[in-house]
Amino acid sequence: MSGITISNLTKRFGSNTIVDDLELTIDEGEFVVLLGPSGCGKTTTLRCLAGLETPEGGTISFGDRTVFDAKTHTDVATHRRNIGMIFQSYALWPHMTVRDNIGYPLKVRRKKEALRSGAVDKAAAMVDTGHLLDRYPSQLSGGQQQRVAVARGLVAEPDLVLFDEPLSNLDARLRDQVRTQIHQLHQRLGFSAVFVTHDQSEAFALGDRLAIMKDGRLEQCDTPQRVFDEPGSDYVAAFIGMGNRLVLTRHHEGWQTANGDVLDLGSRSPERGGADEIIARLRPADLHLHRAVEDAPHGSTVLHATLVTTEFGGRHYDVLVDVAGERLTLQADTREHGAWLPTAEEGAPVVVSFNPTDVRTYAADPARSAERESVAV
Ligand SMILES: Nc1ncnc2c1ncn2[C@@H]1O[C@H](COP(=O)(O)OP(=O)(O)OP(=O)(O)O)[C@@H](O)[C@H]1O
Ligand SMILES: [Mg+2]
């Protein structure tokens, strides 16, 4: 097998198009993370890959083997696609022991030799569950159940492993542990994987490439570093942590906020002749709080704001400020701001600065601009 190719994949439920002409390739051994908000079609895409849904259009190939083709009515059954599946709900059989659960895919595929030669023990050992083989799922913790599900997903040495938010039912500490284990197993075993999540830190940690999905289509597909550095759209920027959004209008050589600050966006300033309204996106970590303009570093871009709330977070305060009705979040160092910030009142004037290289700009949503114009008229 050499890689998986998905072309023009379309899946509808009734009149709703859930997966919309999707194009994606997964190289052999590659770990692709499918990232997107609830309802955008992530699970449906995995189910199409697994052969659990019949798409209305498109093709899916595993290497040079076509497993689905809407035109020729090719639709290879799930158990003949050689895939492993690991879900959010561990989906272990309650009436089977851990040994029988892990061995189940081998039984279904009639891999008797593997069953006899200790494949189940090997898979269990990979995720530290070798001592649990005689227990039933109800006698395991959530973290142990999910590790058993990982062993079951990998036992038959699948070409492609599908993960559907496998960590989201685990508490923070276990989530980190199981995530690291999945990462190590992928490096050791080299299977191809599609891993669905809506958690950006999971996506950055695990993905060779991130595929960001919106309404059944891919909005951007690139390495974690590229997606982090250059989110391809306002939607992607918002989704991968650039939660701060400011609408700016053109003002001579600069860009103006709704309360009249003219900002220097440096090399991120769109060319002249383009739109007169843009969206600026910034990460909370790239915004800095000051009491006055003079305190902002030389060369930084400054904004006048008012304080909304301050919450103590240990090393830093989580701060919410207002810029003419738009809310920005940032973190302020406790040692630097502890003397004044906790007692500052709501509505107090503050200054926010950022380095112009950290801003990303996008064309404003045309529907929104039209709405503003009609209000102005
Ligand atoms: N069997 C079905 N029949 C009808 N509609 C469905 C069916 N399965 C999913 N949908 C709809 O398809 C859309 C996408 O669902 P899907 O489960 O793929 O989303 P998702 O991206 O996995 O979301 P989440 O992050 O919440 O799991 C949703 O609007 C859902 O209601
Ligand atoms: Mg889902």
Q: What is the pLDDT of residues 68-83, one digit of tens each?
A: 999 999 999 998 999 9
Q: H or E stretch including 35?
A: strand 31-35
Pocket lining: 12 vs ligand 1, CB cutoff 6 Å: no
38 lines ligand 1 (CB under 6 A): yes
Q: Which residue has the higher pLDDT, 292 or 90?
A: 292
Specify burial of residue 375 (Cβ count, 10 A radius: 0-12, 13-18, 19+). Answer: exposed
Order of strands across the sheet that contains 16-26: 16-26, 4-13, 57-62, 65-69, 74-75
Handedness of CA 126, 170, 163, 213 (dihedral sign): negative
Question: Do the strands 83-87 and 160-164 form a parallel or antiparallel pair, or are they unpaired?
Answer: parallel
Local structure of residue 177 (DSSP, 8 states): H
Tell which one of 44, 167, 218 to mutate to probe ligand 1, the residue whose CB is within 8 A of the most ligand atoms: 44
What's the confidence (pLDDT) of residue 376?
Answer: 45
Decide if pLDDT at 245 tops 60.
yes
Q: How far apart are CA 185 and CA 90, in angstroms?
A: 18
Q: Which residues contact 332 (CB under 8 A, 6 or more apart)?
A: 288, 289, 310, 316, 317, 319, 341
Q: Do residues 287 and 268 lie in contact, with contact meaning Cβ atoms separated by under 8 Å?
A: no
CA distance 242 to 118: 48
Backbone angles phi, psi at 251, to 5 degrees: -145, 100
pLDDT score recorded for residue 342: 94
- Binned at pLDDT 50, 70 and 90, residue 137 comes out as very high
Instruction: Give pLDDT, residue 168.
Output: 86
Whole-number mean pLDDT of the chain?
91
Task: Please tell me the residue having the least CA distance from ligand 1 atom 10.
Answer: 13
CATH architecture assigned to 4-232:
3-Layer(aba) Sandwich (3.40)
Q: Given a cut of 50, is residue 345 above it in pLDDT?
A: yes
Q: Is the pLDDT of residue 375 over 80?
A: no
Q: Which two tokens stand for residue 190?
A: 């080299």
What lies within 8 Å, CB to CB, of 271 at 6+ separation is: none
Would you say the CB of residue 18 lies under 6 angstroms from ligand 1? Answer: yes
Estimate to the nearest angstrom the gap between the alpha carbon of 121 and the chain centroid: 33
60 within 8 A of 48, measured Cβ to Cβ: yes
Q: Is the CB of 13 under 6 A from ligand 1?
A: yes
pLDDT greater than 50 at residue 156? yes
What is the residue whose two structure tokens read 């023990």? Answer: 121
The DSSP call for residue 344 is: P
Residues 6+ apart with CB under 8 A from 117: none
Is the pLDDT at 21 greater than 80, yes or no? yes
- Categorize the per-residue pLDDT at 29 as very low, low, confident or very high, splitting at 50, 70 and 90: very high
Q: Is the pLDDT of residue 87 over 90?
A: no
Distance from Cα 19 to the centre of ligand 1, integer Å: 10
- The two three-digit tokens of residue 278, written as one number: 């843009």
Give the pLDDT score at 128.
87
Would you tell me which CATH number, out of the four given (3.40.50.300, 1.10.3720.10, 2.40.50.100, 3.90.1150.10), belongs to the domain 242-376?
2.40.50.100
Express as a percent the part of the chain with pLDDT over 70: 96
Q: How many CB atoms lie within 10 A of CB 10?
A: 17
Task: For the chain, give every domain's residue range.
Answer: 4-232, 242-376
pLDDT beyond 70 at 367: no
Burial category of 202 from C-beta neighbours within 10 Å (exposed 0-12, middle 13-18, buried 19 and up): buried
Q: Is 198 in the pocket of ligand 1 (CB under 6 A)?
A: yes
Asked whether 301 and 265 are in contact (CB, 8 A), the reply is yes
E-strand ranges in 88-208 read 160-164, 192-197
Q: Which is it for the CA torsion 228, 232, 236, 238, positive or negative?
A: positive
Residue 377 has pLDDT above 60, yes or no: no
Ligand 1 close to Cβ of residue 39 (< 6 A): yes
Residue 102 has pLDDT above 90, yes or no: yes
Which pLDDT score is estimated for 356?
A: 92
- Which protein residue's CA is at the shortest distance from atom 30 of ligand 1? 39
Query: For 85-94, what is the mean pLDDT?
Result: 86
Q: Are the beta carbons of 124 and 196 closer than 8 angstroms?
A: no
CB distance 112 to 146 below 8 Å: no
pLDDT at 45: 97
**Helix H or strand E segment including 295:** none
pLDDT band at 3 (very low <50, low <70, confident <90, very high): very high
> Over 90: is that where the pLDDT of 67 sits?
yes
CA 360 to chain centre: 19
pLDDT at 311 over 90: yes
* Token reading at 321: 């400020």
Q: How confident is the model at residue 270 (pLDDT cuts 50, 70, 90)?
A: confident
Residue 340, classed as helix, strand or coil, is coil
Comparing C-alpha atoms, which of 204, 249, 246 is closest to residue 354? 246
- Can you tell me the distance from the alpha carbon of 5 to that of 95, in angstroms, rounded to the nearest whole number? 37
